[in-house]
Structure 1
Amino acid sequence: MVAAADVALSYRGTPVLAGIDLAVRGGEAVALLGPNGAGKTSLMRLLAGRLSPTAGTVRAGGGDPFRSRAARRAIGWVPQEIALYGRLTVRENLDVFARLAGLKRTERAAAVERAVALAGLDAVAGDLVGLLSGGYQRRTNIAVALLAGPALVLLDEPTQGIDRVARAAIHGVLEGLRRDGTAILIATHDFAEAERLADRVLVLHGGRIGLDGRLADLLAALRAGPPEHEVALDDAPGSAGAEALRRAGFEPAGPLIWHRGPRAPGAGPQRDGAALLAHLRRQGVPVREIRVREPGLDALYLDAIRAREAAAP
């Protein structure tokens, strides 16, 4: 649905993205992860045709989305900010944005009703947007992107600042789009959200892609090794205890919590939490308990970030 080849982007001479190669296919849900400042929003704005690359090419629907209106109509863009008119109803907002998108007069009413249905907004379609909850406002934001029936939807942090119920409703909307064959690229900081929605993950750091692969395959490979461990302490470990924890591969994750990922130095093949507990207590570490769990997307993410940082000049 969209492809980028050797794409680079600079702002006023400062590199933001470099050497980006990716393709998103129909019916594919891709999670885009990365720390603040990694270039996620810039990459999505490039793919949506809101920016033009400094180098390389972006193609969507057979054209350049920055120069081709037809190519842009194949892409729905959902920004992080709520971009709606608070004094208009949901349906009136959608009609305005349908006009701005260039939909013909004969197409607009049907497009608005289709977007209302897809985003699950029937119950509030006649309500003023400014009086809606944050969750309904974000769903209306998504509905705007669906007006032209895009083949690809790009979403930048679509569930930021909303409660669990509203988040689940938005996930339901996105899962429905994917079942219908729409491609989805979602930038998020929420690992649980990414694991639920995505079948592929991209990690962006320092303007470059550090990881790109099918989530199930990446997790299967990771889980073939040692598990993750989390140590809960009764008291501060002191310098000797902290050194013992670090030798065992742990890093501080809170005042009395230390964490060890599956690929941490010192993790080794040991999977027995009881043996690890005994070992640390013999070293004088005031351990209350050790929690053992299968590694998840957060571990893949940390591995990718560390690898990119190690490769950086």
Structure 2
Amino acid sequence: MRPDPAAIVRDLALSYRGVMVLDGVDLTLARGAAVALIGPNGAGKTSLMRLLAGRLAPGRGTVRVGGGDPFREAAARRAIAWVPQAVALYPRLTVRENLEVFARLAGLPRAARRPAVARALAQAALGEVEDRLVGVLSGGYQRRANIAVALLGEPALVLLDEPTQGVDRVARAAIHAVLERLPASGAALLVATHDFAEAERLADRVAVLRDGRIRLDGRLTDLLAALRAGPPEHEVALSDPAGPAAAAALRAAGFHPAGALTWRAGDAVADGRDGAALLASLRQHGVPVREIRVREPGLDALYRDVVGPAPAAALAGAAP
């Protein structure tokens, strides 16, 4: 038999000052699986996570975590790890001391605190910095320590809001390595992110939220397989950012911006011209083309089909 889901959301609605933030959201989070929650700013991602964490009461519908209502039942809240964007640690304490403090605050019995701290340190791969002050650590280590705090109670549901925001590529890879291991413990992960590469690396499923509603929800492999059954994407790499005239020429040829130096087209490009002819045409119109590549469409193409142009944060992280 399949285990019960870690969390179930049904017909969820929330309004704020008369504005509908979420409306009719249905979502099921399976144990041992990771779901990427993507959508434009203001789509309701953080509000949905706060509802799941029991920080808000829904205006309509139900939220159940482990069968309980996290807003009303402390037992349900104890099964949830909430990792917000902001790092919430004591900078003048060491990593280990922070975990010990938060273990007490979480109400862990005295006998359970030491093994819980050791387990969280291992899960977040923090052994080499456990005795260093949090305030002197890099942003990447601080975010891993923040995640470790959330793991002290062995949660059934882990909610992460932009877990790698503001860190470099090396730190992001280290955080991803930590998060990739969590579903093996049986936890369900919901990761709100603007980073398409992060979503593709971490998630089994993707849910696209727009205007307070889930517009797309499915297994990432299935969604990408259906998308890749069509024509490949063409990608133009520029040597310099496109000025107004160059941008107009790229758009006329069917391309859209996908980064500061990257433009993409999802269908047959420029009236069927081959790469050499397209390259010559674009350069004739003053486009600073470095090269033209053919690539399989990814999550950014799915997002574009549902929502429109990708958010600036995702474009900034796109391949050059």
2:108 to 89, 103, 106: 103
178-187 vs 214-223, greater mean Cα deviation: 178-187
108-117 vs 21-30, greater mean Cα deviation: 108-117
| Unaligned stretches of 5+ residues in structure 2 | 1-5, 310-320
- The one-letter code sitting in structure 2 at the alignment partner of 1:147 is L
Matched, 1:166 2:168: no
1:223-278 C-alpha deviation (Å, 9 max, x unpaired):
11111123457986859x947x545433356788643234xxx75995x7437627
| Unaligned stretches of 5+ residues in structure 1 | 308-313
- The one-letter code sitting in structure 1 at the alignment partner of 2:75 is A
Matched, 1:295 2:303: no
**Equivalences for 1:1-313 in 2 at 5 Å?**
1-231=6-236, 238=245, 242=248, 246=251, 248-251=253-256, 258-262=263-267, 273-274=274-275, 277=278, 281=281, 285-286=285-286, 288=289, 289-306=291-308
The answer to whether the Cα contact below 8 Å between 1:237 and 1:286 also exists between their aligned partners in 2 is no
74-83 vs 123-132, greater mean Cα deviation: 123-132
The answer to whether the Cα contact below 8 Å between 1:6 and 1:20 also exists between their aligned partners in 2 is yes
59-68 vs 119-128, greater mean Cα deviation: 119-128
Q: Matched residues in 2 for 1:232 and 1:130: separation?
A: 40
Q: Give the direction of change, closer, same or farther, for the CA distance of 1:251–1:96 in structure 2 (3 Å limit).
A: same
- The one-letter code sitting in structure 1 at the alignment partner of 2:114 is A
The aligned length equals 300
Q: Matched residues in 1 for 2:260 and 2:111: separation?
A: 62
- The one-letter code sitting in structure 1 at the alignment partner of 2:278 is L
1:161-196 C-alpha deviation (Å, 9 max, x unpaired):
112221111111111112222211111111111111
Tell me the SS of whatever aligns to 2:307. Answer: helix
The answer to whether the Cα contact below 8 Å between 1:236 and 1:255 also exists between their aligned partners in 2 is no
The answer to whether the Cα contact below 8 Å between 1:88 and 1:128 also exists between their aligned partners in 2 is yes
TM-score, normalised with respect to structure 2: 0.85
CA shift, 1:80, in A, is 0.5
The answer to whether the Cα contact below 8 Å between 2:234 and 2:269 also exists between their aligned partners in 1 is no
TM-score, normalised with respect to structure 1: 0.86
1:36-88 C-alpha deviation (Å, 9 max, x unpaired):
11111111111111111111000001100111111111111111000011111
- The one-letter code sitting in structure 1 at the alignment partner of 2:231 is P
163-172 vs 284-293, greater mean Cα deviation: 284-293
Q: Matched residues in 1 for 2:282 and 2:92: separation?
A: 66
Tell me the SS of whatever aligns to 1:27. Answer: coil
- The one-letter code sitting in structure 2 at the alignment partner of 1:139 is R
Q: Matched residues in 2 for 1:157 and 1:255: separation?
A: 21
CA shift, 1:305, in A, is 0.4
Q: Matched residues in 2 for 1:43 and 1:54: separation?
A: 12
Tell me the SS of whatever aligns to 2:82. Answer: strand
The answer to whether the Cα contact below 8 Å between 1:5 and 1:21 also exists between their aligned partners in 2 is yes
The answer to whether the Cα contact below 8 Å between 1:260 and 1:267 also exists between their aligned partners in 2 is yes
185-194 vs 100-109, greater mean Cα deviation: 100-109
Q: Matched residues in 2 for 1:252 and 1:159: separation?
A: 23
- The one-letter code sitting in structure 1 at the alignment partner of 2:281 is R
Q: Matched residues in 2 for 1:286 and 1:184: separation?
A: 46
Q: Matched residues in 2 for 1:107 and 1:219: separation?
A: 44
Q: Matched residues in 1 for 2:118 and 2:260: separation?
A: 52
- List structure 1 segments (4+ residues) > 3 angstroms apart after TM superposition: 231-239, 245-248, 251-258, 266-270, 282-289
Tell me the SS of whatever aligns to 2:22. Answer: strand
CA shift, 1:146, in A, is 0.5
The answer to whether the Cα contact below 8 Å between 2:39 and 2:208 also exists between their aligned partners in 1 is yes
